[in-house]
Amino acid sequence: MDRIFSGIQPTGDLHLGNYLGALRNWVALQHKYECIYCMVDMHAITVWQDPKELAASTREVTAGLIAAGLDPDHNVLFNQSAIPAHAELAWVFNCVARLGWLNRMTQFKEKAGKNKENASVGLYAYPNLMAADILVYKATHVPVGEDQKQHLELTRDIAQKFNNDYNQNFFPLTEPLIFGEATRVMSLRDGNNKMSKSDPSENSRINMTDGPDDISRKIRKAKTDPEPLPGDRKALEGRPEAANLIDIYAALSDQSTADVCSKFEGAQFSTFKEELTELAISVLGPVGEEMARLVKDPGYLDSVLRTGAERAKAIANPILDDVYDIVGFLRP
């Protein structure tokens, strides 16, 4: 069976963008693939994290995955730092990847900003760790958004160079899985920017733990424009906030944006927002309630992560052993 790997950073609150862009798709994939899902806490510390908050967030994200519908008995769920093979393979890949490849990574430039000289080495080299995350399980597929395509291309480059350098056909060239509507959910306050937990405005995002009142308030305050909704998605070009809300409705209702535009053609946003609010509460409400219940049981969440780590090690460690033999590391 084909094997999927994907990871999510345990920093801040899970929000609608995480749910529509990743979690809901992961749930659908669990019945079609062997799935390995990881809380990437090692990636998280490429920028400083409060230790207590990082530990709490790791449990909270685990709760969010389970509440969204991931079965911890059917899937491998664990936190990255519990598997030393990730870091060990990343060092090998540090010696395979070329500086020029990393210099082309646009996300480092975006995250480091103007102060790149003060950014951590980990932030610069983390695409190599990302490649190790994937290839230490010989994952055949990775579900990715548009903004992650470049990192998967780097993973394929590293796998190909390793295979060539050592005259092996060892690592697969991992393929992307790209999903449809609303894989890139934008801010409720600015349709040109991605919905993000780092945005200082709480009204920019719907958190998975938000109750009905919060969801209603945030959608009501979501930025729109005075024009009625068109019957054609193409007519939303130049109207990013309007397009974002249409995309969100389409994704939550499992409809195409064309069908949503047809349904609400000529409607004012006040009417549309009422319908979107009702839909969002019906979909996210049960997820948020279950997530809140699970967070109150850290012992259960820790047991899920421990069991998942044991299953992950059983896959990763033999692959790392083979890499060490190929490279020539003595294991007396």
The verdict on residue 190 lying in a domain is no
In this predicted model, what pLDDT tens digit does every residue of 84-134 receive, in sequence order?
999 999 999 999 999 999 988 877 777 767 777 888 888 899 999 999 999
- The CATH number of whichever domain residue 38 belongs to comes to 3.40.50.620
- Spatial neighbors of 329 by CB under 8 A, at least 6 apart, are none
Cβ-contact 59, 298 below 8 angstroms: yes
36 in the same domain as 173: yes
- Which residue has tokens 């992307």? 176
Window from 141-145, 189-193, 248-252, 325-329 with minimum mean pLDDT = 141-145
> Over the chain, what is the mean pLDDT?
91
The verdict on residue 194 lying in a domain is no
Instruction: Give pLDDT, residue 141.
Output: 95
The verdict on residue 191 lying in a domain is no
- Which residue among the candidates 111, 161, 221, 223 is catalytic per the annotation? 111
The verdict on residue 192 lying in a domain is no
95 in the same domain as 211: no
User: How much is the average pLDDT of 160-184?
Assistant: 87
249 in the same domain as 265: yes
145 class by beta-carbon count within 10 Å (0-12 exposed, 13-18 middle, 19+ buried):
middle
133 in the same domain as 34: yes
- Which residue among the candidates 32, 52, 109, 197 is catalytic per the annotation? 197
Gap between the Cα atoms of 296 and 257, Å rounded: 38
Instruction: Give pLDDT, residue 183.
Output: 62
Instruction: Give pLDDT, residue 307.
Output: 98
Please state whether the predicted TM-score (pTM) of the whole model is above 0.85.
yes
Window from 22-31, 111-120, 314-323 with minimum mean pLDDT = 111-120
Is 313 among the residues known to form the active site?
A: no
As for how many domains the chain has, the answer is: 2
The verdict on residue 311 lying in a domain is yes
Q: Specify the higher pLDDT residue, 196 or 141.
A: 141
Strand order in the sheet with 76-79: 76-79, 34-39, 3-8, 141-143, 175-177
What DSSP string runs through 172-192?
Answer: --PEEE---TTSSPBPSS-TT
The verdict on residue 82 lying in a domain is yes
142 in the same domain as 47: yes
Domain span at residue 48 reads 3-183+297-327
Is 114 among the residues known to form the active site?
A: no
The verdict on residue 243 lying in a domain is yes
In this predicted model, what pLDDT tens digit does every residue of 178-201 receive, in sequence order?
775 546 789 999 988 988 888 888
268 in the same domain as 236: yes
161 in the same domain as 223: no
Is 111 among the residues known to form the active site?
A: yes
Helices 84-94 & 298-327 angle (0-180, nearest 10):
40
Instruction: Give yes or no for residue 37 having a pLDDT over 50.
Output: yes
* Strand runs labelled E in 147-220: 175-177
In this predicted model, what pLDDT tens digit does every residue of 240-283 receive, in sequence order?
999 999 999 999 998 888 899 989 989 888 899 999 999 999 99
- The CATH number of whichever domain residue 223 belongs to comes to 1.10.240.10
- Which residue among the candidates 52, 114, 138, 194 is catalytic per the annotation? 194
73 in the same domain as 44: yes
User: How much is the average pLDDT of 218-245?
Assistant: 89
User: Nearest CA to 249 among 186, 182, 184, 191?
Assistant: 182
312 in the same domain as 273: no
From the CB of residue 98, how many other CB atoms can be counted at a distance below 10 Å? 11
The verdict on residue 196 lying in a domain is no
Instruction: Give pLDDT, residue 269.
Output: 87
Window from 10-14, 153-157, 249-253, 307-311 with minimum mean pLDDT = 10-14
230 in the same domain as 153: no
141 in the same domain as 23: yes
Instruction: Give pLDDT, residue 184.
Output: 77
What DSSP string runs through 80-124?
Answer: GGG-HHHHHHHHHHHTTS-HHHHHT-HHHHHHHGGGGGGS-HHHH
pLDDT over 70 for what percent of the chain?
96
b/e burial code for range 274-284 (CB count within 10 A of at least 16 → b): ebbbeebbebb
SS3 8: strand
56 in the same domain as 159: yes
